[in-house]
Amino acid sequence: MALDRDQVVDAAWHILRSYGLGDLSMRRLARELGVQPGALYWHVANKQELLSVLAQRMVAPLTGSGGSPAQIIGAFREMVLAVRDGADVVSVAHALDPEGMQPAPLLTSALVRSGRDPQDAATTALTLVRFALGAVTAQQTRESMDLPTATMAAEFEAGVRAILA
Amino acid sequence: MALDRDQVVDAAWHILRSYGLGDLSMRRLARELGVQPGALYWHVANKQELLSVLAQRMVAPLTGSGGSPAQIIGAFREMVLAVRDGADVVSVAHALDPEGMQPAPLLTSALVRSGRDPQDAATTALTLVRFALGAVTAQQTRESMDLPTATMAAEFEAGVRAILA
DNA sequence: ACCTGAACACCGTTCAAGT
DNA sequence: ACCTGAACACCGTTCAAGT
């Protein structure tokens, strides 16, 4: 039975969650799947493409979930924070498609529903996402070095309140 | 004449500015300096320490420069944006010492001067820095892939206004 | 004090050749 | 269609030994 793309992505997902981005090499992934490194390039174009797929998977549960802007950006933070080096992976995907990648479109429509005009809603959504990615990047860097992060959830909430005020 | 720490840091600074983080390897740095890779470890503990020093150097011109909170965070953005992969380098330094690393302390006192209580000032400073790092990370990722960034300066200004409102 | 030589344990990617 | 084998051009770090 031949390898397929889903098996590659699933194995990559498992390594990322369990050991972090530092351990997610194409060679390590190939070893885990019992193939030669070159075999992976039949199923994915390169490592970057693989990481994009993992970023989509990380924020997938968000799509379709309602809530206020504060709830949406809070849920986004939780999902990214739950995956080791999640912020690094999602940041690239956000940069490639800032308006299309979740949670931006979800936030924009929630902000319009709450009474903002579309222009302001779109910009505020970008501000929230970039702040969240900056905050989670800082927290995950500290976690990877066993530094304390006790105040960072409150700092995040305060930042979101300031942006939405 | 023996190598010293400053020569190592200067050469690293030059590689970072000219070619980016992807080209700043300890081996490439050693080659540029005409020594074996191992020689570098007499002058710096490891690559991480070297990157911390480069982060300090990037934001050094900020110290002592006055201005409003909006001006300070704007100047910070310019400095980080001016160095290839600057946001990646500065993000780690910020995570290690969020309150001590510039521009946080500068922002906090400017915010106190403008009438905020110290608690609120400190948290707002962190929000501004994390948003700025998130925004510059997105922009530099796009620049590295030759994607357009025309709207990103305005998005940054709008974000700063929202946070400071 | 400062550096070399050499090693250890790795990377991402390509591509002719095999099945 | 899918994979192996082998290569290309690299990494960060350590450390005995040399000067």
The residue to which tokens 């400017």 are assigned: B110
Is A165 in CB contact (< 8 Å) with chain B?
Answer: yes
Amino acid A146: pLDDT? 94
B98 shares its domain with B31: no
C-alpha distances in Å from residue A69, one per residue of A60, A127, A163, A164, B129: 17, 12, 11, 8, 21
Q: In this structure, are B92 and B33 located in the same domain? A: no
User: What pLDDT, on the 0 to 100 scale, is given for residue B5?
Assistant: 97
Same domain? A12 vs A87: no
What residues of chain A, 122 to 161, have a C-beta less than 8 Å from chain B? Answer: 123-124, 126-127, 129-135, 137-139, 141-142, 145, 147, 155, 158-159
Same domain, A85 and A157: yes
Q: How many domains is chain B partitioned into structurally?
A: 2
Q: Which of residues 53-112 of A touch B (CB under 8 A)?
A: 91-92, 94-96, 98
Mean pLDDT within B29-52: 98
CA dist., res. B122 & res. B139, Å (int): 26
Q: Are B68 and B50 in contact (CB under 8 A)?
A: no
Q: Which residues contact B159 (CB under 8 A, 6 or more apart)?
A: A123, A126, A127, A130, A131, A163, B131, B135
Question: Do B139 and B70 fall within a single domain?
Answer: yes
pLDDT at A82: 96
User: Is a pLDDT exceeding 80 seen at residue B1?
Assistant: no
Q: What is the pLDDT of residues B91-104, one digit of tens each?
A: 999 999 999 999 99
- When pLDDT is cut at 50, 70 and 90, the band that residue B131 belongs to is very high
Q: Looking at residue A10, which CATH number applies to its domain?
A: 1.10.10.60
Which domain CATH number covers A132? Answer: 1.10.357.10
State the average pLDDT for chain A. Answer: 97
Percent share of chain B, pLDDT over 90: 96
- Residue B130 to residue A137: CA distance in whole angstroms: 9
Give the separation between CA A138 and CA B95, rounded to whole angstroms: 5
CB atoms within 10 A of CB B123: 21
Whether the pLDDT of residue A65 is over 90: the answer is no
pLDDT at B6: 97
Q: Are residues A16 and A81 in the same domain?
A: no
Annotate B117-152 with DSSP letters as a single string. -HHHHHHHHHHHHHHHHHHHHHHHHHHHTT---TTH
How open is the CA angle B28-B31-B32, to the nearest 5 degrees?
90
Asked if pLDDT for residue B66 goes beyond 90, the answer is: no
Selecting from B95, B96, B134 the residue whose C-beta is nearest the C-beta of A131 gives: B134
On whether residue A32 sits in a domain, the answer given is: yes
Q: Which domain holds residue B33?
A: 1-44
- pLDDT of residue A141 exceeding 80, the answer is yes
Q: According to the model, what pLDDT value does residue A66 have?
A: 83
Residue B130 inside a domain? The answer is yes
Interface check for A162 against chain B (CB to CB < 8 A): the answer is: yes
Q: Are residues B28 and B68 in the same domain?
A: no
The per-residue pLDDT for range B145-157, each reduced to its tens digit, is 999 999 999 999 9
B54 is a domain residue: no
B34 and B104 together in one domain: no
